Amino acid sequence: MVTMILGEVANFAAYAFAPAILVTPLGALSIIFSAVLAHFILNERLHMFGVVGCALCVVGSVDIVLHAPMERRIDSVSEIWHLATEPGFIVYSCLAVALALVLMFWVVHHTEQRKMLAYIAICSLMGSLTVISVKAVAIALKLSFTGVNQFVYIQTWFFIVVVIICCVVQLNYLNKALDSFNTAVVAPVYYVMFTILTILANMIMYKDWDSQNATQIASELCGFVTIVAGTFLLHKTRHLGNTQPDPNSLRAECELEDHI
């Protein structure tokens, strides 16, 4: 629990120093460390496909790091508030909240087949707004530590309230998805949907890709797709390394060979 809290604090701090387009996809690296530690500590054998999945995540992460955009210089929370109140991001925020409410109060109660996707969509929509607000709070803390107090602005407290509300909703529906459906399916789908919506929200608000050319953007997208492929491969083959042959099946095969 302590190491998890430290990891989340470090992840929170990362948003103050790097664009979310870089920080969010790199969350897949936690999957690699979990798989490797489980292999050595919990004796959960890592299948060859799992090794390939880890390699894909590493390659994709390196690709994103090498081609990530530079962090935009921000000197106050007022600048972030100006970006957040531009028409493009206001439209995205309203659509995200409206769609999340429709999923919460109608789709979840009227369909069983798509309930998992509804839960994950709610988490991802709220998660994209969480990341935007977390980045604003992280930058406010960074500037405050340098001597420019940002907590005198009401906008900073507004972002804090948004973080709390979105986190509560996000955790609630993520727990519902994990309680009702297979983790091996929920985790990769949530990672992909959350990352896509987070990158989209940051593109609209911070316009991180304005300073990049088509080659750099394409390289980042390829890196993201590579991480997605590695994540799905890891989750889909996580049980292959732990399967033990059934003695009865082996005995039946031996008897069949003797008979033949």
129, pLDDT greater than 70: yes
The tokens of 123 are what? 């988490």
Longest CA pairwise span in the chain (Å): 85
Q: Average pLDDT of the chain?
A: 82
Nearest to 143 by CA among 156, 133, 132: 156
Same domain, 166 and 38: no
Separation CA 60–CA 54 (nearest Å): 10
Same domain, 163 and 234: no
Q: Please indicate, yes or no, if residue 256 is contained in any of the structural domains.
A: no
Angle at 140 between CA 197 and CA 191, to 5 degrees: 20
Same domain, 15 and 54: yes
82, pLDDT greater than 90: yes
> What is this structure's pTM?
0.77
Model confidence band, residue 252 (pLDDT cutoffs 50, 70, 90): very low
Residue 209's φ and ψ, nearest 5 degrees, are -90, 0
Q: Please indicate, yes or no, if residue 130 is contained in any of the structural domains.
A: yes
Question: What total number of domains does the chain contain?
Answer: 2
Nearest to 120 by CA among 53, 197, 221: 197
Residues 6 or more apart in contact with residue 67 via CB below 8 angstroms: 212, 216, 219, 220, 223
Same domain, 208 and 219: no
| Pick from 15-24, 87-96, 247-256: least confident | 247-256
Same domain, 109 and 196: yes
Residues 6 or more apart in contact with residue 142 via CB below 8 angstroms: 16, 17
Same domain, 93 and 1: no
Nearest to 51 by CA among 37, 34, 32: 32
| Pick from 28-37, 102-111, 169-178, 225-234: least confident | 28-37
Give CA separation, 9 vs 37, 64, 122, 195, 258, in Å.
21, 22, 24, 19, 62
Query: What pLDDT sits at residue 260?
Result: 41
The domain in which residue 187 lies consists of: 73-212
Same domain, 40 and 153: no
Same domain, 206 and 222: no
Q: Please indicate, yes or no, if residue 236 is contained in any of the structural domains.
A: yes
Q: Please indicate, yes or no, if residue 252 is contained in any of the structural domains.
A: no
